[in-house]
Structure 1
Amino acid sequence: MKTDNSTLYTISLERLDPNQHGQLKYASAFVSEYIDDVRLDNGTLTIVHRDPAGSDRIQAGVEKLIERFSKGDFGFKEHILFENRGRMPYRGDIIADLVAAKTIKVLDPGLFIFREPFSSLLRFFDDTFVQRIAKAFGAKEESYPAIIHLSTLDKTNHFTSFPEHLHFLSHLRDDLDVIESFSDSIRAAGGWKEDAPLDLNRNMPKPRFAMNPSTCYHCYEGLQGETLEGDGIVATAVAKCHRYESKNHTDFGRLLDFSMREIILVGKPEFVRENRLKAVEHLKQLAIEWEIDCLIENANDPFFTNDFQVKASFQRNQEMKYEMRLTIPSINKSIACSSVNFHSTAFGTAFDIKTGKRPATTGCIGFGLERWVFAFLAQFGLDEAGWPATFREQYHAWHNKSK
């Protein structure tokens, strides 16, 4: 079916477990670079595209993904640890309100400029997570770059688990002729154009770096080859993270560039497990205090590759990942704003970090700061009078102190 210059491809997902529908929608955006939109409604997937090969290539890609996500019978383990029902007095379109108020400026899908009060709320949430949770573990503050070595990403298995995320970095070759020729061509074209000819093989070397997709990776890189004393260490850092997610950036809260505060646990297994569960209790307390409508549940990472089912089922069955999901009432959905993760010895082994003679165990507690602000405002709106009293008091006390 065609509309204007686009073609609609529609398929019923009755063959696929409903729990996998969201993952299929996400992955379908990567089937073709000519896809304009992917929609999921009542078990039907609709893809709007301009693929020169027509819907045949779209269909083949979607069928391949359905096969991937339905392979085997692993029986995902479901476990809700905590639920808190909030009053959610605001039910409007918070994104539209923020744009209308010029509180956010949309530069591209998933790419924003944030102004007051959003920018202050970002800092408030971050400072609260540090003061109320990170400091409870004696975490030491660290600061990380926004870019990461490809060799470091290789050790984390990011290439084989989440290849779609990668934003590679490069630069013009160290060659005067190349640099001057590039500059001259841009000048002759009257400035940079999206269709500007750019011979990557001639002008740029192979990349050595990518934009960092996860805060904790740098912590493990910094501990490489070390043997830790005692039970372990706790570090905390906030970093700008980058994940390319194609047309999924139009989804509520799915940013291309975002701020991730993490509390990172490295040490003996008992040390990591115990502190991880303590972190869950801290999250519960904040949810109750702030009257947030949310739940904390067993989850899995959205693995992209062929071994999705094996990896995801292992995570769920071992309860290696918990997500704190906040409700977005206007769309009747929830988004993950925090995760509490247990990695076992995967990173300790990869980076040769030891406790005694054994590989260190690691875990992390992550806070997507922009998502926290979006979700909070989606439940309570921009008018502070509608915010929960305890939250409002804490925010004003912080704001006055930070002036």
Structure 2
Amino acid sequence: MTTRGGVVVDDRPPVSRGWTARYAIASTGMWLAFLTPAQAQLARQAELFDPVGKAALLGLATGVGAAVTAVAVPVFGALSDRTRTRWGRRRPWVAGGIAVAAAGLVALAGAQGAVSLVLGWVLAQVGLSAVQAGLVATIPDRVPRPQLGLVAGWAGMTQMLGALLGTLLVNQVVKDLAPGYLACAAVAVLAVVPFLLGYREPRDLPAPVRTGRRSTIQITPDLAWAWASRFLVTLGFALVTQYLLYYLTDELALADPQRGVLVITAVTVLGAMVSALVTGRWSDRLGRRKVFVAVGGALMGAGALFLALVPAWPVTAVAAGAVGLGFGTFLAVDLAVIATVLPSAADTGRDLGVFAIANAAPQVLAPVLAVPVLAVSGYRGLYLVTAVVAVVGGLLVRRVRSVG
């Protein structure tokens, strides 16, 4: 980027379709390795190890793993900002991270109890944190602003695509727990290979400022509001998805709740993929971002409201579609908002890692919030709270001044 007449002009060349495809494949593999255990495998394993306390064990595993992610992604992002190797500064962290993540998934395949379940998931989360830190930083590194909505749309789509492919993988292709974990590990490793081989980093990336004391992120009002918006919307999505299997089992009493999870996940993901790709391009053309984020939160809130007020299978499918459309819309445009409000081009990995906390912290807080709400008011109360959280999260982006 250059400055002309006091105006910052992003004159970087556009990224190619091949670059976007390699990024999308790698990101899909990363999210498959993260979301498949979080939404399917861990719940089944927790029920196997502790049928009575399954919800508490699931909350412990996902909570501890998310806490690790909240710390690890900013740390790995800051380290990648300062990495200088012949392979660049991002790729070493992606390569090393996917190896550690695969080891964690292999450990989960051999878990024999609650302790090994939690430790295996923590190891996987450490590795996936390094992958996430390296991958997401390549977007502000490489993508010019006129393409942010397009590429962010593809990036948002990969999160949902990873969830869908992972659900299909462990529910239809490799149904047993241990082989399912191994399959997730293999797919994740293979998915990042094209990116690692094909990505070439820009040579003119700014170096982080080195001072006598450790530099800290500049928390601007826009950055704070964007962070709060992502945190709340992600919390809403976590509240919907973490307890989906138990909702279908305990509230709807489905004969085959695992198949129900597959159907609901497919509806959610397809809605999210369509909305992410459409709204990402649309926001580029209009030059507006905030309205899409607000609409995304509202759609998610409507879906959660359906789950709360009408606990019936057909309505659940409709609710899943609304949640998917809303979350896809949010993901497609919110990343473009974040890339715009980052305070330092030299510390993108570190600064984006702060937003990873907004992704990870809801995984910790979701069970903390859900368990007492479920005890007092059941799934009706849980999803009413979810609706409020999602809508407020979407509206908070209106406070971001530097984005249209």
TM-score by length of 1: 0.23
More strand by share: 1
Query: Larger RCO: Structure 1 or Structure 2 (Cα < 8 Å, ≥ 6 residues apart)?
Result: 2
The higher radius of gyration belongs to 1
